[in-house]
Amino acid sequence: MSNPSSDPQTAPSTLPAAAKQQLKDLLGPRGFLDKPEDLILYEYDGSVDKARPEMVVFPRTTEEVSAIVQITAEHNVPIVGRGAGTGLSGGAIPMAGGVTIGFSRMNKILEIDLENERMVVQPGVVNLDISLAVQALGYFYAPDPSSQRACTIGGNVAENAGGPHTLAYGVTTNHVLGLEFVLPDGTVHTTGGQELDSPGYDLVGLLTGSEGTMVLVTKVIVRLMRQPEKIKTILAIYDSASDCADTVADITARAITPVAVEMLDGEMLRMVEDATHAGYPMDAAAVLLIELEGPVEAVEEQTEQVRAACERCNAREFRVAKSAEERDLLWKGRKNAFGAVGRVSPSYYVQDGVVPRTQIAPTLRHIAEVAKKYNLGISNIFHAGDGNMHPIILFNAHKPEELERAKAAGEEILKYCIAVGGTITGEHGVGMEKNELMGILFPPATLDYIGRIKNLFDPSGRLNPGKVLPTGKGCLEIRQRWAGAGKMV
């Protein structure tokens, strides 16, 4: 996890004593936290900013969530939903204070329906636990964020999380069939269901990725998939990062869609190898971690096509994992990469821009120029198959000027992504990290319509205020209309 900035943002008190007592009476003595030494643990997520809630509550049922929302509505208190706190865009940070609703105790798998390849879960269920529950039966849940051992499905739905294997399988929205949710007035509703598709407007798609600004999700129906017949994991090793990046477009041109194509530059792979001993070469400029799945014959044929693409782009070595253990070790290195960075730098700032595949090499060159401009180390590990860049900016949080330089570097990289036809997030969400950049990505009329949709669900603006839409000077009032003590406009 990256280290947050040292001073949390403070907001005027928004939680009246009467509301606080009502919440205590509802949940009992073990159902909330309100002491400063406890609240400090909920003032940050995986991003670099902080803001402290005035109270954290832990519902166990949808009915309790509804009651909490009704109490906070009566007193016009802002509320923020929180999963495991692994988010990387500040989505769970309570910018306006108020109440944080932690879903960690709503962690039950409610139903497994293998005949229809469905599972019904509460929002606090850990992502990996979904797959583990059906692994022995030959099924799995496809979206696999790097934090899948800790992150929860509720947070995945809020941020529309992705992961290495979403190149072929898609992100969270492609695997959510139905939702139960609570509106800001406390009423409970459902949308979607067990069927593959529902008539009418796609509310499941609208709410997945809405970052907790419209509803609080209390139940999720996810799609399960059968485990593939054959899996092959490949490590392609390069002496040039540009050649490594060019390989991605070459593979795509051959009409092959691997389930994963991950790229690590030399600086990153050395940090990973030092920490995990996964078998990455310490002297390489970059590597591609490629995974193919499907029927045996198709995987064998695609392996040779991928080999040809790698060799055409000057790969110095092409390794195919010889066992499940070797495959798992390679993926252990990839999935534990952020932890490996912590051995080298006291703090780091992870970005999440997206560019067309053909722009990966130029973007890497631009990132290197940004690193020199701001005198910061930047390593790269990312989902190369869909151009989802994750430059990791190294800095020391104990030096405020370095944090500001890291933020400026991140913003410059994202602006470049927009300029070459990309966007500002592929899976981490907008949150409070990138909301001001929304004004560059979208024209005012589009932002206005997005704000109108947000306000249709949350007319008082109490749900996760200060996220997704711009809050700076000149923004339209409809974008952030919370009228509480913090005056989020």
Residue 3: CATH number of its domain? 3.30.465.10
Tell me whether residue 48 is in a domain.
yes
Q: Are residues 286 and 243 in the same domain?
A: yes
Tell me whether residue 102 is in a domain.
yes
- Taken in order 45, 168, 255, 309, the sign of the CA dihedral is positive
Q: Are residues 113 and 159 in the same domain?
A: yes
DSSP H or E segment with residue 134? helix 127-134
Q: Are residues 417 and 440 in the same domain?
A: no
Q: Are residues 427 and 440 in the same domain?
A: no
Helical segments of 53-94, H only: 62-74
Q: Are residues 211 and 80 in the same domain?
A: yes
Q: Are residues 36 and 116 in the same domain?
A: yes
Q: Are residues 353 and 447 in the same domain?
A: no
pLDDT value for 133: 98
Please answer whether residues 265 and 364 qualify as being in contact, where contact means their C-beta atoms are separated by less than 8 angstroms.
yes
Nearest to 382 by CA among 356, 408, 406, 353: 353
The answer to whether the pTM exceeds 0.75 is yes
SS3 content of the chain, % helix, strand, coil (to 5): 40, 20, 40
Q: Are residues 23 and 130 in the same domain?
A: yes
Backbone angles phi, psi at 165, to 5 degrees: -95, 10
Tell me whether residue 41 is in a domain.
yes
Tell me whether residue 323 is in a domain.
yes
332 Cβ contact list (under 8 Å, min separation 6): 276, 278
Domain closes at, from 203, 227, 251? 227
Tell me whether residue 419 is in a domain.
yes
Q: Are residues 411 and 327 in the same domain?
A: no
pLDDT value for 129: 98
Domain closes at, from 227, 262, 290? 227
Say how many domains are in the chain: 4
pLDDT value for 10: 57
* Most distant CA atoms of the chain, gap in Å: 70
Tell me whether residue 257 is in a domain.
yes
Domain span at residue 312 reads: 230-339
Strand order in the sheet with 176-182: 109-113, 118-121, 216-223, 176-182, 188-192
Nearest to 2 by CA among 352, 377, 345: 345
Q: Which residue has the tokens 């995987």?
A: 299
pLDDT value for 471: 86
Nearest to 310 by CA among 363, 365, 232, 245: 245
Distance CA 107, CA 58 (A): 11
Distance CA 215, CA 403 (A): 33
Other Cβ atoms less than 10 A from the Cβ of 27: the count is 17
Domain closes at, from 397, 412, 434? 434
List the CATH number of the domain containing 334. Answer: 3.30.70.2190
One-letter amino acid at 363 equals: T
Tell me whether residue 45 is in a domain.
yes
Tell me whether residue 487 is in a domain.
no
DSSP state of 58: -
List the CATH number of the domain containing 356. Answer: 3.30.70.2740
Q: Are residues 2 and 59 in the same domain?
A: yes
Q: Are residues 110 and 157 in the same domain?
A: yes
Distance CA 476, CA 454 (A): 13
Blockwise average pLDDT, block size 10, the chain, 489 residues: 52 88 98 97 94 98 98 98 96 96 98 97 98 98 95 98 94 97 98 85 97 98 97 98 95 94 96 93 97 97 97 97 94 90 91 95 97 97 95 93 96 98 96 95 96 96 96 48 46
pLDDT value for 475: 40
Backbone angles phi, psi at 176, to 5 degrees: -110, 125
Q: Are residues 124 and 64 in the same domain?
A: yes
